[in-house]
Amino acid sequence: MSPGDGGSAVHAGQEVKNIVLVHGGFVDGSGWQGVHDRLTADGYRVAVVQNATVSLAGDVATTHQVLDSLDGPAVLVGHSYGGAVITEAGNHPNVAALAYITAFAPDKGESVNTLIADPPPGAPVPPILPPTQDGFLFLDRDKFAASFAADVPEKLAAFMADSQVPWGLDALGGAVSEAAWRSKPSWYLVATDDRMIPPPAQRAMSERAGSAVTEVAGSHAVYVSDPAAVAALIVRAATSVSSR
């Protein structure tokens, strides 16, 4: 079932009660639990996409499968690399709004790789190890907590480092064919202590996308360390598009 005919189109003024959460690279969807619990307590129907992060095209297809199954419009949420996924998958007719959580927001023809190719002077360099022979990336386990999850409890950050999901070079290099933020409203949460995606880059991407921006003190794993702030931004997005 293609996204063009897989779901009913979003109608103006229709209440948005579906939330779809898309994780980023090096992690899986379990990190969304705190956000999930807050949203479901507020009466939202929440789906957590489990992407393989092997290729952008594959992750978009998996996200489309979830969107196809919905009974109405949704806010599509992406963290980190998940922002690239929702930028492409967000063109699906069941998507009413986009929410970027310290995430990449590429434009047409851009990929995560192009967005990180020219870091500003002095910006922190994520401790990404050289690709494995079969084309996958990992973060240095010893540096994972400091770079990705500095405000996450020590034991949990260590578990996240030890349970990393391989991130494929085809995911890193997958280019967006049409940026959904050009036609759909978007919200963006900037994590001011992020050492994976520099906050100035987050601000630049959110400004270009015309997103409604909230800034919070938090690491790249702010969705784990401060799920209340993340859930609040998602609720604002859902409430705003429901009232249009």
C-alpha span between 108 and 24 (Å, rounded): 19
**How much is the pLDDT for 139?**
97
- The model's confidence at residue 199, banded by pLDDT at 50, 70 and 90, is very high
The whole-angstrom separation of Cα 89 and Cα 87 is: 6
Residue 8: the pLDDT is 38
Q: Given a cut of 70, is residue 35 above it in pLDDT?
A: yes
What is 18-114+123-242's CATH topology? Answer: Rossmann fold (3.40.50)
Domain ranges of the chain: 18-114+123-242
Quick one: pLDDT at residue 122?
A: 82
- Tell me the pTM: 0.94
d(CA 126, CA 212): 27
Report the pLDDT value the prediction gives residue 65, as an integer from 0 to 100: 98
CA angle 15-205-145, nearest 5°? Answer: 95
pLDDT at 4: 36
Query: Looking at per-residue confidence, does 18 or 3 come out higher?
Result: 18
Rounded to whole angstroms, the Cα distance separating 111 from 197 reads: 14
> Residue 80: which of 223, 226, 227, 236 has the closest Cα?
223
- pLDDT at residue 13 in the model: 60
Task: State residue 27's pLDDT score.
Answer: 98
Rg (CA), the chain: 16
Distance CA 35, CA 243 (A): 23
Measured between alpha carbons, how far is 38 from 235 in angstroms, rounded to an integer?
10
Task: Please give the share of the chain, as a percent, with pLDDT higher than 70.
Answer: 94
Rounded Cα distance between 97 and 244, Å, is 12
**Mean pLDDT calculated for residue range 218-224:** 98
CB proximity list for 130: less than 8 A, separation 6 or greater: none
pLDDT at 244: 61
Q: Spell out a b/e string for 70-105, using b for 16 or more CB atoms within 10 Å of the CB, else e.
A: bebbbbbbbbbbbbbbbbbbbbbbbbbbbbbbbbbb
The chain-wide mean pLDDT, for the chain, equals 93
> How high is the pLDDT of residue 7?
36
Confidence of residue 174 (pLDDT cuts 50, 70, 90): very high
Cα-Cα end-to-end distance for the chain:
29
* pLDDT of residue 99 exceeding 80: yes
pLDDT, tens only, 109-161 = 999 999 998 877 788 889 999 999 999 999 999 999 999 999 999 999 999 99
Please check the confidence at residue 1 and state whether its pLDDT lies above 50.
no
| DSSP one-letter string for 187-222 | EEEEETT-SSS-HHHHHHHHHHHT-EEEEES--TTH
Top-confidence residue, 80 or 10? 80
Question: Mind listing the pLDDT tens digit for each residue in 67-85?
Answer: 999 999 999 999 999 999 9
Please determine, for residue 106, whether its predicted confidence score (pLDDT) is greater than 50.
yes
What type of residue sits at position 243? S
Q: Which structure tokens are listed for 191?
A: 């994590």
Output the pLDDT for position 2.
Answer: 33
